[in-house]
Amino acid sequence: MEAKKSKAIVFSGVNQIELREVTLKPVSSTDVMVETWWSSISTGTEKMALNGLIPSPPFIFPFIPGYETVGRIVEAGDHVNQGLIGKFAYVAGSFGYQDVNAAFGGASQYLVCPLESITVLDGIANPQCGIALPLGATALHIVDLAEVRNRKVLVLGQGAVGILAADLAKRFGASLVAVTEPHQRRLDVSTADIRVNPEKQDVSAALAGHEFDILIDSTGIMTAIETGLRFLKFHGKVIFGGYYQRMNIDYSQAFNKELSFIAARQWAKGDLRRVRELIGAGKINAEKIFTHQCTVDDNLMEAYSQAFSDPDCLKMIIHWKHGDEAGEHFPTCNTGN
């Protein structure tokens, strides 16, 4: 049988993106093939990868990026339940290519991947919301590590993960959630009890009278973290919610307050399904982080550049199917430019 071809987004060199044809590996007995409807852009890992800052083997150019993909299962291996065909699923990337590296590999028209790499989106009215599963699971893992119940929580940064972390902290019983964010449109989306724009407000005045049990960082900015440490109480806890190439903060505050520091790697087993249930039950508004959209046939370099640099762009959704080709109507997602 002739190998199946697929369109894919390929990072072909530093700051070089192209849409090219790639060759898929055959579907094994425990694999599924998914036809992509939507994918998205990671503003952390993918930005570093496109700039050539991750030299490990999966990121050797050329490679297919992407771990935020939702599509419909179109083929299932002999040892897979054939009833899954036709269902929508979130796919955490794919290594199923013959002629190109896969750095997660989810940005492809078709994906071949093991069954355990997918999360079926049963119970979610609009399967596009499955794009939020990895960010929601990351935020959920952060909040689990923070043990927020009956605690005062300060979240630095209201990007997509920070917004969801603040939502989940409230959902899981934090007594108070405060956030800081210098971009007003991001701050406006937040549901935190106290929202502080450090470019317009004095942070010390805005947080006066509060000592926080937990600091969650989703900025990656060392100066912001140092400032945030001032508001932690003795024996406070710091959760690092991003990826940091290097840590450089004043140790004296950690020493004087005997602070604890925890790095949140990604998400724990089962978190993707937990987020799916929260979205399905209406307990997480995933759509509010979908702020921008494009199609796979648009200027991809412009789309990625906007996702990486525009502070108003929380999450860029890439549409792989258009107009009548999509063939189905789902409840409207709150997306727009």
Among 158, 128, 167, 126, CA closest to 40: 128
| pLDDT at residue 333, rounded to an integer | 44
In this prediction, residues 229-258 reach a mean pLDDT of 93
CB-based contact 10:102 (threshold 8 Å) = no
Amino acid at 196: V
Average pLDDT, the chain: 93
The count of other CB atoms within 10 Å of the CB of residue 278 is 18
What kind of fold does domain 135-263 have according to CATH? Rossmann fold (3.40.50)
pLDDT band at 331 (very low <50, low <70, confident <90, very high): low
Looking at the chain, the whole-number percentage of residues with pLDDT higher than 90 is 88
CB-based contact 142:216 (threshold 8 Å) = yes
pLDDT tens for 183-207 read: 999 999 999 999 999 999 999 999 9
Looking at the chain, the whole-number percentage of residues with pLDDT higher than 70 is 95
Which ranges in the chain belong to alpha helices (H)? 45-50, 133-146, 160-171, 184-189, 203-206, 222-229, 251-257, 271-280, 300-309
With a cut of 70, say whether residue 281 has pLDDT above it. Answer: yes
Among 106, 131, 171, 133, CA closest to 275: 133
Among 117, 103, 110, CA closest to 42: 103
| pLDDT at residue 326, rounded to an integer | 62
In this prediction, residues 64-87 reach a mean pLDDT of 97
pLDDT tens for 27-49 read: 999 999 999 999 999 988 899 89
- If one compares 38 and 335, the residue with the highest pLDDT of the two is 38
CB-based contact 289:107 (threshold 8 Å) = no
CATH number of 5-120+291-319: 3.90.180.10
Whole-prediction pTM value?
0.91
Pairing of strands 292-295, 316-319: parallel
d(CA 266, CA 268): 7
CB-based contact 6:88 (threshold 8 Å) = no
pLDDT tens for 311-328 read: 999 999 999 997 656 656
With a cut of 80, say whether residue 329 has pLDDT above it. Answer: no
d(CA 106, CA 125): 23
| pLDDT at residue 80, rounded to an integer | 97
With a cut of 90, say whether residue 3 has pLDDT above it. Answer: no
DSSP 8-state class, residue 147 = T
| pLDDT at residue 154, rounded to an integer | 98
The alpha carbon dihedral of 218, 219, 224, 226 has a sign of positive
Query: 220: burial class by Cβ within 10 Å (0-12, 13-18, 19+)?
Result: middle
Q: Where are the domains of the chain?
A: 5-120+291-319, 135-263
pLDDT tens for 114-165 read: 999 999 999 999 999 999 999 999 999 999 999 999 999 999 999 999 999 9
